[in-house]
Structure 1
Amino acid sequence: MYANKLGRLLSGLHSCQVTALCGAIRCRYSRTTICQQRTLWRRRNTCKRTQNHTVHGRISVCLSSYSVRSASQTTVDPDELRRFQSLASKWWDEQGEFAALHAMNDLRVPFIRDNLLNVHTRHHPGKPLAGLRILDVGCGGGLLTEPLGRLGGNVLGIDPVEDSISTAQLHSSNDPELRSRVSYRACSLEELSSEEEGEQGAGQFDAVVASEVVEHLADPETFAFCCSHVLKPGGSLFITTLNKTNLSYALAIVVAEQLFRIVPSGTHDWEKFISPVELERLLESNGFSVKSVQGMLYNPFSGAWSWTDSTAVNYALHAIKVTDDLQPEQ
C-alpha cells in the first residue's frame, strides 16, 4: 500500500503540485493538515528571519572585525548536537540510519571531483584531487571524507560531535592509504575559522564540502561567512541540502521519518530547510558566485540516488569564492 502511495509521490515530483502530494498520503495526513503546519512554520520562521536579518545587518555595518562576529555567532545547534551524539556509533552501518548517505556518495563524490577538475587544470592520473586541500564540514563518521582522500585530496574532516570524530578516526585507521591524506578534528566551523584569523592573506583550503549539513545549522549566515574565510580566492564550496517546499516536508519528514523510517524520527526540522534561491542569495552576499545547482532524488525501494531536473526536494550546489575577506581595518 505504501509502495503505491510513494510511487505517486515520486511521479508528482516534477510538477511539484501540493494536491497530488497530499492525495498520496491522505490515509494519514490530509492536505489541510500539511499546509496548515507549513503555514504556521513559515510565519514563525519569517518573524525569526526578520529579527535575525536586523541583527546581522547591524553586525555587518558596525562590527566588520571578524573576531567580534565569531565570538557572538555559532553554527552549532545544541539539539542537533545531542541528536547526532546518540547516532555516533552507527555511521558505518550501511543498512542502518545512514544508509541513504552511503548511497549518496554515488552522486556527490563525482559531483565534487568533476567540478574541481573543471576549476583546477592540473591532473594526476589515478589521483585526480592530488595537491588539493579540502575541508569536510560536519563530516560525521567520515562517509564522504574517506572517498575524497582516496581520490588524492588532503582532507580535513571536522564535526562538533566528538564521538563521531572518534568513529571516523577509528575507521580510517584501518586503511593505510588514508593515513597521510585524511585527518579529523572535533570542532565547529567557526572555531576552525577563528584560528585562521591571524593568517596572512586568504584562507587555507581549495574546497569546502558541506553535505547534508546546512539543514542542521543554527546560523547559516555565520556558516557562509566562515566558509568564505577559510577558502582561498577561487576556492570551491560544495553543498547538498533540502529545499523548503511542501514536497520536501512530505517526503523528508512524513514519508522518510514517519512512514518508512528511512531516517530516525526528528532528524529534520522543516524550518531549517533552505531554497536554492535563498541559499544563492546568502552565498553571494558572502563573496561567492554560484556555478551550478542540480536536483537529486532518492528511491527508497532501490536505495539509489539519481540526478533530476527538479530541485523541489534535494539539491546539490557548487559555488566559487570570487572576493577576498574584508580585513578588520576595512
Structure 2
Amino acid sequence: MYTNKFGRLMLGLHFLKTTAVCGVVHWAAGRSGFSWTAVCKQRTLWLRRSTCREMERRSLLRHTGSQSASQTTVDPDELRRFQSLACKWWDEQGEFAALHAMNDLRVPFIRDNLLNLHRARHPGKPLAGLKILDVGCGGGLLTEPLGRLGAKVLGIDPVENSIGTAQLHSSFDPDLCERVSYQVCTLEELSGGEEEGVGHFDAVVASEVVEHLADVETFAFCCSQVLKPGGSLFITTMNKTNLSYVLGIVVAEQLLHIVPSGTHDWEKFISPVDLERLLESTGFSVQSVKGMLYNPLLRAWSWSDSTAINYALHAIKLSKQAEDSGLHPEDHTAETHS
C-alpha cells in the first residue's frame, strides 16, 4: 500500500531514453520471445478495463454523494506484500536500494521548497519548528533524514512490522528521539483524530505511495484535512504512460526481475495532469512538477525534463479565502509536464 515504496527500483532507467528503451526491449526479445505488439495489446486491454472501472466508480459516487473520509486508502493486497518485506527496509543492497538512493533527490526537494515558504533560518537544523507527516513511511527511510534537518516528523504506516522496524532503527540515534515518532495507522484514521488531526502539519510527504493506494481521492481529501492553510504536500510517484508500463512492469518485473513480479499495478499509476487536476479540486495549488530518472547500474537518481516515468510534485493547500476567490499562490509557477 502506501509503503510500496520500492516500486522505483527499476524506473527511470537513466540510460533508457527512447532509443535505449528499444535496445533493452530488443535484448529482452532475443532472450525471452518478447513481443512489443503483445505488450501493447495487453496494455490496451488493461486501459479499457481501467476506464470501465473508473466509469462505474464515478457513477457510484454520483449516487452515493460526495467524497468522504470514511472511505479507505488501504489496499489489502499491498498490505500483505509489505508485511513480508518489513524487516528489509534498511538493507541498502536489497529490495529498497532505489529508495535509499532516492533520498539524494527527494530530501533536498522537500527542504528547499519548505525553506522558500518558511523564511526562518536555523543553522544546522534548517527545518526546525516545522511539523511534517510522512505518509506510508515504511521503515523510516525518509522520516529520519527529515528529522535530522530539525523538523518534528510523524511517520505513519498501516503495516505494524514496518513501524516496528522504523522505531528500532531510530532508537539508535539519540538525536532523533525528540523529533521523530511513529504510529501504526492510516491517513484517514489520523485525519479523523483530535491530537494529530485537522490542520496540524506544515507539510505532508507521500513518497512512492500514491501508486499503491486504493483511493487517491480520499488520500487527497485527508491530506488537505491534516495540513495547515498554506501547508505543503510533496509526492513522488509514477506516470501512467506506455513507457512506465514497459519499463516498470514488463522489463523490471517480468523480464529482468529487478523487483518481485506483482509489485506494481499499472492501473493505479497516475499522470501529473490527472494528479494536479485532482489536487486542485481538493483545494491545492500545484507549484512544481519535476521528472526523475533512475540509473540501476549506478544506483543513482537524477532530475529530468521528462515526467514520462517518475516525477516529484509540490503543492500548497490554499487558504479558504484564496480557494473561494480562485486565487493561487504566486511564489512559484507550475512547470510544464513533459
**Which of 310, 316, 327 in structure 2 is aligned with 1:314?**
310
Unaligned runs of 5+ in 2: 1-9, 324-338
Instruction: Show the 5 A alignment for 1:130-279.
Output: 130-196=128-194, 203-279=199-275
Q: Structure 2: how far apart are the matches of 1:63 and 1:275?
A: 23
Q: Which amino acid aligns with 1:76?
A: V
TM norm structure 2: 0.86
Distance in 2 (alpha carbons) for counterparts of 1:284 and 1:20: 39
2:299 — aligned with what? 303
Deviation at 1:296, TM superposition (A): 0.4
CA distance in 1, matches of 2:27, 2:204: 38
Question: What is the CA–CA distance in structure 2 between the aligned matches of 1:12 and 1:105, rounded to whole Å?
Answer: 21
One-letter code of the match for 1:70? A
**Structure 1 match to 2:69:** 70
Distance 1:16 1:183, change over 3 A: farther
Percent identity over paired residues:
72
Deviations 1:35-57 (A, max 9, x none): 11110111111011112223334
Q: Distance in 1 between matches of 2:93 and 2:320?
A: 43
Instruction: Work out the number of aligned pairs and report it.
Output: 309
Structure 1 residue 18 displacement after superposition: 8.4
Distance 2:251 2:281 in 1: 35
1 CA distance for matches of 2:301 and 2:245?
18
Structure 1 stretch 150-159 or stretch 34-43: which is displaced more? 34-43
The one-letter amino acid paired with 1:179 is C
| CA distance 1:157–1:30, change in 2 (3 Å) | same
Q: Secondary structure at the match of 2:29?
A: coil
Q: How far has the Cα of 1:20 moved from its partner?
A: 7.2
Tell me which residue corresponds to 1:290: 286
Residue 124 of structure 2 aligns to a residue whose secondary structure is coil
1:142-169 deviation line (CA, Å, top 9, x unaligned): 0000000000010000000000000000
Shift in Å at residue 323 of structure 1?
A: 3.7
Distance 1:121 1:58 in 2: 46
Distance 1:147 1:126 in 2: 13
1:26 Cα shift? 2.9
Equivalent residue letter for 2:29: R
Cα distance in 1 for partners of 2:55, 2:195 equals: 29
In the alignment, what sits opposite 1:52? Answer: 57
Q: Secondary structure at the match of 1:195?
A: coil
Q: TM-score, normalised by structure 1?
A: 0.88
Q: 1:10: how far off?
A: 5.0
SS of the counterpart of 1:26?
helix
